[in-house]
């Protein structure tokens, strides 16, 4: 697929500019060194700036970025050759710097893009639908009334988008069905809480729906912050599901109505989840996991497990505990 542009990078910035903006303690050899981009550790390049959270440990020699934001409490950086910016609050610095580095494209830029590229035959393009400049629309697509497709979005072949759905900052594969009243590709619930007020993190990631995905009505899929939000091939979501920023869902999964998946969770292949399941952020769900309805999943689950309850535990353990408590109440 193409790699469309959904945001503007305002860089480069010098180390001194960034340090002054963040009011950070700077340790470097050359404060005129130019920083080209701002990424998380996994995606960073040598010319980027990245950040090291207090609760994550990385070997510094394995981090590609030459420039790191760390907490003033961090002691592992005293002898490194990296450029180091020490701050009071890493999360706040990340949020603040994201809005310094990036911004949404303005109307002048969007107006300068080519008209929507409509490839092949459209089965049904309702006259009330809006397709913005730069969008690429595949063959044999059906776009119902009230649909909005944002600039530079890529929509594959044989796609059906039902009434009043809004798609921005997204790449949609072939044979995808999107129900009515869905919102796909908007910024996620990413922010930091600081003494002076909340600070929103700029989201530069995309929402990617791979081939044969089905999305029910009234679902929300947020774009990623630094990574993409990805829904794997042939995965189905029922109505009223929410998928937060940076979530990665594997292939051939099924999620019943009102499932919520918090940010940066990673879901394997062939996962089945009942209605009203909640999955916490930053955890890993293995392949072929079954999650019973109304379960609250707060920790990672290994391949092939069946869990239930809140907090979710192995099915056998849950039933054993339930029987024990039930017998106690009835005696």
Q: Which residues are catalytic?
A: 245
Q: How far apart are CA 172 and CA 138, in angstroms?
A: 10
Assigned token pair, 107: 């109307």
Q: How far apart are CA 177 and CA 159, in angstroms?
A: 6
Tell me how crowded residue 127 is: count the other CB atoms within 10 A of its CB: 5
DSSP 202: P
Q: How far apart are CA 236 and CA 253, in angstroms?
A: 6
Assigned token pair, 135: 């969008």
Please state the φ and ψ torsions of residue 251, each to the nearest 5 degrees. -90, 150
The closest of 234, 91, 220, 193 to 249, measured between CA atoms, is 234
297 forms beta bridges with: 279
The closest of 219, 116, 221, 119 to 162, measured between CA atoms, is 219
- DSSP state letters, 158-174: S-EE-TT-EE-SEEE-T
* HSE toward the beta carbon, residue 214, CA cutoff 13 A: 11
Handedness of CA 195, 198, 204, 210 (dihedral sign): positive
Distance of CA 19 to the CA centre of its chain: 28
Tell me how crowded residue 3 is: count the other CB atoms within 10 A of its CB: 9
Alpha helical stretches, state H, the chain:
15-22, 90-101, 107-112, 315-330
């Amino acid at each position: 697929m193409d790699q469309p542009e959904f945001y503007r990078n305002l860089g480069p910035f010098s180390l001194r500019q960034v340090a002054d903006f963040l009011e950070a303690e700077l340790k470097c050899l050359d404060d005129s060194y130019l920083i080209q981009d701002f990424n998380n550790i996994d995606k960073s390049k040598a010319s980027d700036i990245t950040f090291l959270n207090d609760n994550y440990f990385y070997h510094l020699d394995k981090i590609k970025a030459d420039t790191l934001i760390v907490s003033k409490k961090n002691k592992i950086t005293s002898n490194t050759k990296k450029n180091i910016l020490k701050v009071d609050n890493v999360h706040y610095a990340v949020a603040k710097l994201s809005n310094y580095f990036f911004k949404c494209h303005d109307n002048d830029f969007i107006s300068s893009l080519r008209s929507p590229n409509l490839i092949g035959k459209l089965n049904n393009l309702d006259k009330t639908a809006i397709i913005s400049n730069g969008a690429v629309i595949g063959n044999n697509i059906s776009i119902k009334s009230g649909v909005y497709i944002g600039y530079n979005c890529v929509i594959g072949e044989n796609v059906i988008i039902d009434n009043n759905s809004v798609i921005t900052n997204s790449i949609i594969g072939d044979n995808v069905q999107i129900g009515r009243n869905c919102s796909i590709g908007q910024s996620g619930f990413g922010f930091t809480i600081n003494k002076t007020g909340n600070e929103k993190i700029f989201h530069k990631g995309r929402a990617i729906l791979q081939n044969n995905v089905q999305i029910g009505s009234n679902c929300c899929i947020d774009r990623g912050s630094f990574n993409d939000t990805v829904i794997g091939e042939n995965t189905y979501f029922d109505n009223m599901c929410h998928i937060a920023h940076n979530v990665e869902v594997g292939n051939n999964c099924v999620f019943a109505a009102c499932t919520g998946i918090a940010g940066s969770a990673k879901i394997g292949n062939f996962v089945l989840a009942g209605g009203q399941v909640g999955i916490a952020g930053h955890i890993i769900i293995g392949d072929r996991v079954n999650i019973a309805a109304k379960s609250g999943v707060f920790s990672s689950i290994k391949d092939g497990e069946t869990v239930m309850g809140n907090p979710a535990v192995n099915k056998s353990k849950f039933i054993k505990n339930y029987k024990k408590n039930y017998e106690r109440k009835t005696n």
